[in-house]
Amino acid sequence: MPLDQTITLDNLSVDFDDRFRCQHINWHIHSSEHWLICGNNGAGKSALAAILAGYGDIESGTISGLPERVGLVSFEAQAELIAAERRKDDADILDVIAEGTPVSEIIASVAIDQALAARLIEQFGIHHLQDRAFRKLSTGESRKVMLIRALTCDPQLLILDEPFEGLDTDSLAALHTHLASIATDTTMVLVLNRLDQCPNFVTHVALMNQGHLTHRVDRRDAPAWSELQALLHLKTDSIALPGKDPDTQLPPLDPDQPLVKITNGAIRYGDTVIFEQLDWTINPGEHWQLTGPNGSGKTALLSLITGDHPQCYVNDIYVFGFVRGSGESIWQIKQFIGYVSTALQWEYTVGTSLRNVIISGFYDSIGLYSKYTDQQKAIANQWLEVLGMQHRADQPFTSQSYGDQRLLLIARAMVKHPPLLILDEPCLGLDDMNRQKILALIEIICGNSETTVLYVNHHSEDKINGIESYLPLQGVPTEV
């Protein structure tokens, strides 16, 4: 039976026993739509689906339009049913040995369409299990029972959380066929970790991130769907960063010494003080977020580190083993730094290929003017795979979207695995989808490389997994 009204979640916040919160959810599900909920592990995919099944405690906002009959398949619901069966067999209550509720009764207790139940029992290959106690089934067998229960209760809304997990080939094919056959009459919401498992009948995709519903995409909107696929690719847990090029490895640093140490740092222009009394140490593997409003001195502070600011020689600065002003060259310092900024992107206007942009990072050049090695080409190709752009390797850099150009410049900065990667306002000028892609790549770098990340932005609310140290600049004396 089709959904007879729109399900509406209006600024809804729901608590799940203080274990997880979905916050400020705004979402409409119409009868003609089928939704896929996606996101990385711990994003809140299953929690959002559970809300539609009546789980969780509403803290604020409203939910309306939920139908009377909801079919639900989830690992949590499966565990609840198994736990309920075990409670029936409590030896302290019963003085007989209970066999447990048989599979046939577990299914019949909710099935409205008994003929469909019988057919699915055969198709899922569990006809021989009908007299067995439900609690004695394997995980995969009990999963099939949960699916049959949900599919045969004449649901107006069908919620399937990882429905394809653990199914054998025949059962998987039977489930796909049945779901496609009921798509015109039953509204479905699926939760999947793998986007390649998404059925063709799904019309819309919802992206969860840290308990927030951040994106709602119509699959017919090809550009938006492509951007979402790129974001989900970067959010996967299976990405490994490419290795180093042995021909361009940097000189080793003392691992026991800080990368950067500024003591009582200050920048002044006459009577104007940008900042002063700043003590800051960046140790290897200690990722930092530097925030502050315009004029607080973020860019000036970065230029003290890179050696581009004339006042770096009147400050007490230790960088990569060098005491600033002790005779080191600016290039001795910069070889240890990967740097990405909006200004760099404005300068990088050469029409070279995506692959060559990344290879240019080995030579710290804008454009590629040296013959590269096979190893460097292979590493660049691996970085393109990380970005999900391997099929565009030979396309010109200038033809790419603004957000994809920024991703490529981060890869360019990382090819030599610099001890310090400075990302100066990397999300500036990007829409929310591309901003999420940049943040996802930063998280990958923080968690999968030896590079220390210094992430610079205006606002401290961008939380990046792996960054636990913060320096807020306000244009006033600050000590860290």
What's 65's DSSP letter?
Answer: -
> What's residue 218's pLDDT?
95
Confidence of residue 84 (pLDDT cuts 50, 70, 90): confident
Residue 477 lies in a domain: no
Which of the residue ranges 10-14, 22-26, 276-280, 459-463 would you say has the lowest mean pLDDT?
Answer: 459-463
Average pLDDT over residues 365-388: 91
Distance CA 412, CA 367 (A): 11
Residue 152 lies in a domain: yes
Together in a domain, 40 and 110 = yes
> What's residue 428's pLDDT?
83
Position with higher pLDDT, 304 vs 100? 304
Average pLDDT over residues 228-243: 85
Distance CA 75, CA 92 (A): 28
Together in a domain, 168 and 205 = yes
Confidence of residue 96 (pLDDT cuts 50, 70, 90): low
Confidence of residue 92 (pLDDT cuts 50, 70, 90): very low
For the segment 242-275, what is each residue's pLDDT rounded down to a tens digit? 999 988 888 888 989 999 999 999 998 888 888 8
Together in a domain, 220 and 297 = no
- Residue 70: φ, ψ to 5°: -120, 125
Question: For the chain, what is the domain count?
Answer: 2
Residue 478 lies in a domain: no
> What's residue 2's pLDDT?
63
Which of the residue ranges 70-79, 211-220, 272-281, 461-470 would you say has the lowest mean pLDDT?
Answer: 461-470
Residue 31 near residue 3 (C-beta atoms within 8 A): yes
> What's residue 145's pLDDT?
94
For the segment 388-434, what is each residue's pLDDT rounded down to a tens digit? 999 999 999 888 888 899 999 999 999 999 999 999 989 888 888 88
> What's residue 280's pLDDT?
95
Together in a domain, 153 and 78 = yes
Position with higher pLDDT, 161 vs 294? 161
> What's residue 480's pLDDT?
46
Does residue 97 register a pLDDT over 60?
Answer: no
Residue 419, domain extent: 246-472
Residue 35 near residue 205 (C-beta atoms within 8 A): yes
Nearest to 48 by CA among 30, 29, 33, 31: 29
Position with higher pLDDT, 327 vs 443? 443
Does residue 456 register a pLDDT over 60?
Answer: yes
Together in a domain, 271 and 218 = no
Q: How much of the chain is helix, strand and coil, in % rounded to 5?
A: 35, 25, 40
Does residue 65 register a pLDDT over 70?
Answer: yes
Residue 480 lies in a domain: no
> What's residue 126's pLDDT?
92
Position with higher pLDDT, 365 vs 389? 389
> What's residue 124's pLDDT?
93
Together in a domain, 315 and 388 = yes
Residue 1 lies in a domain: no
Distance CA 216, CA 214 (A): 7
Q: Residue 298 belongs to a domain with what CATH number?
A: 3.40.50.300
Together in a domain, 191 and 256 = no
Together in a domain, 228 and 255 = no
Together in a domain, 348 and 464 = yes
Together in a domain, 52 and 143 = yes
